[in-house]
Structure 1
Amino acid sequence: MSRRRDEQPGATPRRFPPRPDDGLPLLGSLPAFAGDQLGYPVRATRKYGDIVDMNLAGWRTWLVSDMDALEQILVRDHTKFIKTPLIWRQITAVFGQGLLSSDGDLWQHQRRLAAPHFTPRRVQDYDALIVSLARKAVDRWQDDTTFDVHPHMMNLMFRIVTSTMFDADAESEVEIMERALSLLLEEMAHRFRRPVLIPDWVPLPSNRRYLKAIAEIDGVVNRLIRERRQNGIEGRTDYLSSLMASQDANGQPLPDKQIRDEAVTVLLAGHETTALAMTWALYLLARHPDIQAEVTAEIASVLGERDASSADVPELKLTQAVVMETMRLYPPGWMFGREATEDCEIKGYHCPKGTQILIAPWVLHRDPRYYETPDAFRPERWLDGLAQRLPRYAFLPFGGGPRICIGNSLAMLETTLSLATILQSGAIEWRGDRPVEPYPSATLIPQGGVHVAFRREKARHAGP
């Protein structure tokens, strides 16, 4: 391997991971990567190994799939790695310094503030509200009429997060949020593909759309905060009220900007990812009616005619397996990153300060070393203890280490109960004319939508 530019003449040669041979002058592997963001990492990993050193337009970037290296980056040496500026520098106006994007002492303080609202015991109390909202959503669907289920899941999960986390009825805000979020996600997808930072103030049409979408989202959040101030927070225990009653690390009330950043983080990250998990689950079940029939039979056996509750979740084993398998095939957070804050060594390779680390659940979840027939939809693979047998970082739908998604327990409860409620009411039929392809933005968006029909008469409490 030839000497890299950061080696000093006469120094002992440092070992670096293999680098793809498809690089172009200046741009390196960026055109190949940007042109196929899902396929390229899979091919690169299988050709070059579990640590691949890429040049992305001058950014030294490692694609890491090695289990021990992931343990080091995410756990053992996690303080040496921060959230990746290569990604977050493009969207700082969206999340600000919220829990998802902050680092260091600020992140630790925010995590402590948020943690009590996301414990498994706490989220179980939301079960009746989740089921009620899911029931109202499915009751609005017209029987045997083709529709795109994705916006319906976005709508449902937005209502759930505003009701559970903010104790607010956001009926008047849903349309604004859906429109703004759609524009925001489209622009974020473009930003993730470009290596050059274009400031938000540059008067490009895309920047204007991006800032307008953020302003509309901020308007919703600020109205919720303003209404809460007017009505008072005494005796309220929801997340927004807790933020407004909290203090920063210096013992001062949280500034409105910090409350806004935390609220937007929960609103966006907390509903879009679960909405996508639900959308892809319904897509996969519609494409596999035999599996859907088995899930429906389980739901009928466990629930009968009554509504689901958190106490039923352990018995809805196949329903949960569908959720797990969906997140394996279509992890909403398909790739996430870190940046090395100091020189270090990973698996015998020299990792210079500033190295961008990319971790791709999309790649890990399709590794045939861990999953038999990895491209197939097989929920039953999770019914015999697979989760306990897998290496710790072979399944990362919620990330890993101290920065694992704080809302993972709520997400699993939401998806399992919502899926059970929908299939208790009827059957999802596939009405598309071709398989749906995922579009890699910050999350995996179904290109062109997921067109299905809902048939109440086919599956109402259908059992064996």
Structure 2
Amino acid sequence: MTAPSPAPPPAAPRIATGPRGLPLIGVVRDVRKDVLGWLTRTAAEHGPVAQYRFGPGRAYLVTHPDGLKHVLQDHVKNYTKDHYSYAMVRRIVGDGLLTSQGETWLKQRRLAQPAFHRARISAMAGQMVRATLELSEQWATSKRTGEPRHAVRDMMALTLRIVGEALLGTDVRAETEAVSAAFNVISEQTVERFRSLRLLPPVLPTAYDRAFRRANHALREVVARVIAKRRERQEDLGDLLSMFMLARDEETGEQMDDAHLQSEVLTMLLAGHETTATALSWAWALLHQNPDAEKKLHEELDAVLGGRPPTAEDVPRLVYTRRVLDETLRLYPPVYILSRKVMEDDTVCGYQILAGSSLDISPYVTQRLPEFWPEPERFDPDRFTPEKIAARPRYAYFPFLGGPRQCIGNNFALMEGTLILATLAQHHRPRMVAGYTPTPEPLITLRPSRELPVLITAR
């Protein structure tokens, strides 16, 4: 009897190709000029894994869903946040849930998880709708006077208020202007510093560095006041801040100090309101540009709500409203790119990935790949029927990332976005002002340009 032939040796990993860039700086100039265009071209020209130099370091761009599953889920420990982009974010929020790793992150995640339980989030729906109804009254006044508004500004103020009330048990409306102004400075500088390889901390006595320090100090003053108010009350409100303030270390029995609390509150304030506000702003622009989708949205709101404010119980019935939100997040994911550090050599989609490199992933690019999204630039909420979702790979769509580091607030954000959209779209149709076309501004999040100036019109 003939012995079976030995299995062929595994194929050697391929070496990824990529844009050549310039000596010393690599692709830095192209990224600074047009990061979204550069990402899209690189994926189209070099396939599921591309390799390039960003400054002196090697980097990879992984765009195929199979590769993303490998990085974000199956081999997540090999792709860490020990990356200079996160070092920059730590200058703003410290070592909170967004930036921490290992046992520290796991402990923080376990502590915060109960605050994001579905039943607890549903109980926050009333606060979300009440805050939105107040904005609706302001829009009604602007509708009568013809006063233009800035949708981004309105959505930022609204979601900041909701995060403050729902997660922190604090009314932060008086702080909205200070938070927005400070975060705008920090967002612009953080992105500019990263893309210019200006990696030193902002400690120099220059006007540029002083502006960063002033903005960072202003944010921390706001957060310090929030924590001080809650310490005075000594109440368990059942919100996220209560859970952090009352938690004790299992071994030492110590509670979180104010510095640690500050990191968590900053993370929730900034990550918890900026991303949802950005998505909602894009939704208004896309509905204006796509009247058929807007008509279907209005028909659903009339049929489900009949003119009354929505509740948590309505959210599962607002199927098309949610699809509008999902399709908006597909086209304009607030977090459009993020990076990891590669700890050990690996193979992704058959390509060699070397230890010590950076690895970039981009929801903006993957969520526009034509093999998974026919006519990818077209706004079509019906891409998110259950049948179409089931036919796509899991990581063809990942605005909240995935795996163990999936955004802890994804359900909070989706319910919040659905309720805000339903509450306002029942009565108002924001129209972009004449001559304005929204273009993406890739800062820390992907905002529409010029804060999306709109006129509020009646349905």
For normalisation by structure 1, the TM-score amounts to: 0.92
* Residues 93 and 151 of structure 1, relative CA distance in 2, 3 Å threshold: same
Residue 230 (structure 1) shift? 1.1
Residue 15 (structure 1) shift? 4.6
Cα distance between partner residues in 2 of 1:444 and 1:378: 20
* Residues 320 and 30 of structure 1, relative CA distance in 2, 3 Å threshold: same
Q: Which residue of 2 aligns with 1:446?
A: 448
Asked if residue 202 in structure 1 is aligned to residue 200 in structure 2, the reply is no
Q: Helix, strand or coil: the match of 1:420?
A: helix
Cα distance between partner residues in 1 of 2:208 and 2:396: 37
Match of 1:215 among 217, 221, 232: 217
Residue 21 (structure 1) shift? 4.3
Asked if residue 293 in structure 1 is aligned to residue 267 in structure 2, the reply is no
Superposed counterparts of 1:259-298, under 5 Å: 259-298=261-300
Q: Which residue of 2 aligns with 1:241?
A: 242
Given residue 302 of structure 2, which amino acid in structure 1 is its aligned partner?
A: A
Q: Which residue of 2 aligns with 1:103?
A: 101
Q: Is the 8 A contact 1:17 1:51 kept in 2?
A: no
Cα distance between partner residues in 2 of 1:434 and 1:139: 25
Q: Helix, strand or coil: the match of 2:109?
A: helix
Given residue 200 of structure 2, which amino acid in structure 1 is its aligned partner?
A: I
Asked if residue 407 in structure 1 is aligned to residue 409 in structure 2, the reply is yes
Match of 2:427 among 407, 425, 428: 425
For normalisation by structure 2, the TM-score amounts to: 0.93
Cα distance between partner residues in 1 of 2:290 and 2:13: 47
Q: Is the 8 A contact 1:84 1:356 kept in 2?
A: no
* Residues 24 and 317 of structure 1, relative CA distance in 2, 3 Å threshold: same
Q: Which residue of 1 aligns with 2:6?
A: none
* Residues 34 and 250 of structure 1, relative CA distance in 2, 3 Å threshold: farther
Between 412-421 and 349-358, the greater mean CA deviation after superposition: 349-358
Cα distance between partner residues in 2 of 1:63 and 1:17: 13
Moved segments of 4+, more than 6 Å: none
Residue 84 (structure 1) shift? 5.1
Residue 384 (structure 1) shift? 5.1
Q: Which residue of 1 aligns with 2:232?
A: 230
Q: Helix, strand or coil: the match of 2:340?
A: strand
Q: Which residue of 2 aligns with 1:7?
A: none
Given residue 136 of structure 2, which amino acid in structure 1 is its aligned partner?
A: V
Match of 1:386 among 361, 366, 388: 388
* Residues 286 and 348 of structure 1, relative CA distance in 2, 3 Å threshold: closer
Deviations 1:120-162 (CA, angstroms, capped at 9, x unpaired): 2221111111111001012112114322111000000000000
Q: Which residue of 2 aligns with 1:47?
A: 45
Q: Which residue of 2 aligns with 1:70?
A: 68
Given residue 318 of structure 1, which amino acid in structure 2 is its aligned partner?
A: Y
Given residue 130 of structure 1, which amino acid in structure 2 is its aligned partner?
A: M
Q: Is the 8 A contact 1:16 1:53 kept in 2?
A: no
Asked if residue 135 in structure 1 is aligned to residue 137 in structure 2, the reply is no
Asked if residue 369 in structure 1 is aligned to residue 371 in structure 2, the reply is yes
Residue 66 (structure 1) shift? 2.4
Match of 2:340 among 335, 338, 343: 338
Cα distance between partner residues in 2 of 1:208 and 1:248: 37
Cα distance between partner residues in 1 of 2:434 and 2:89: 33
Residue 382 (structure 1) shift? 1.6
RMSD: 1.7
Q: Helix, strand or coil: the match of 1:448?
A: helix
Residue 14 (structure 1) shift? 7.3
Deviations 1:236-287 (CA, angstroms, capped at 9, x unpaired): 2111111111124643211211111011000000000000011000111122
Given residue 315 of structure 1, which amino acid in structure 2 is its aligned partner?
A: R
Q: Which residue of 2 aligns with 1:61?
A: 59
Q: Is the 8 A contact 2:31 2:38 kept in 1?
A: yes
Cα distance between partner residues in 1 of 2:193 and 2:92: 13
Cα distance between partner residues in 1 of 2:361 and 2:250: 31
Residue 432 (structure 1) shift? 4.1
Q: Which residue of 2 aligns with 1:83?
A: 81
Deviations 1:262-318 (CA, angstroms, capped at 9, x unpaired): 110000000000000110001111222332222112101100132101111121111
Between 304-313 and 195-204, the greater mean CA deviation after superposition: 195-204
Q: Which residue of 1 aligns with 2:175?
A: 173
Cα distance between partner residues in 1 of 2:12 and 2:296: 55
Q: Helix, strand or coil: the match of 1:172?
A: helix
Given residue 18 of structure 1, which amino acid in structure 2 is its aligned partner?
A: A
Cα distance between partner residues in 2 of 1:222 and 1:209: 20
Cα distance between partner residues in 1 of 2:75 and 2:408: 20
